[in-house]
Chain A
Amino acid sequence: QVQLVQSGAEVKKPGASVKVSCKASGYTFTSYGISWVRQAPGQGLEWMGWISAYNGNTNYAQKLQGRVTMTTDTSTSTAYMELRSLRSDDTAVYYCARDGRFVVVPAALDYWGQGTLVTVSS
């Protein structure tokens, strides 16, 4: 069965960086992409960006451009999301979700990781 298992909770100070992992199993990793979505406490869902596990193409939310980098390691079927220059309003649960593999092919997010709580506090 398809599973996305994320790394554990993190506590970071303002200005630091965080890197969250998302290990996929139960499907051919390079046949899909991964989107990252975050949810601040008590708030809605915010799409952060997408990476193709097929060719490494990315598409990031404009508000995060320059602070976020998404990568994949196809040898371990793992996706990573790194967010730099953390601020208090980056405190959120971060989710990875399976997406399409090509930028021109629309796809819904059909499987989700369990979420990783990132807390930014001095």
Chain B
Amino acid sequence: EIVMTQSPATLSVSPGERATLSCRASQSVSSNLAWYQQKPGQAPRLLIYGASTRATGIPARFSGSGSGTEFTLTISSLQSEDFAVYYCQQYNNWPRAFGGGTKVEIK
């Protein structure tokens, strides 16, 4: 069973600054890695799939990189609507697994 580890647990960032979130898999998941954004009281929303492909309608300030076991989500210039919790998920193997999440909060 693959374990996904996200860091940091909380990231304090000022609006307009860059945010860099990390996700590590306990074994290779190739590029079968997705990132989701979740705001309070809402369902998660797919941001990135295939480690680096933005989902439909996702702004270009969101970018993903990595392969194998190390992945990064970068938000180039944080907007007010970007403060949320972000989860990575591997879908290379069964069972699917989510990371514990990174909360991006206003500094």
Q: Footprint of B on A, CB under 8 Å? A: 35, 37, 44-47, 50, 59, 61-62, 95, 97, 103, 106-115
Contact = CB atoms under 8 A, between A and B. Distances in A.
- Secondary structure at chain A's binding surface: helix, strand, loop or mixed? loop
B1 to A, nearest CB: 8
Contact of A112 (B45, B94, B95): B45
Contacts of B92: 106
Interface of B: 1, 32, 34, 36, 38, 43-46, 49-50, 55, 87, 89, 91-92, 94-101
A108 B89 contact: yes
A115 B41 CA distance: 9
A13 B20 CA distance: 43
B43 A114 contact: yes
B43 A108 contact: no
A59 B44 CA distance: 21
A50 B96 contact: yes
Contact of A115 (B43, B46, B91, B97): B43
B96 A47 contact: yes
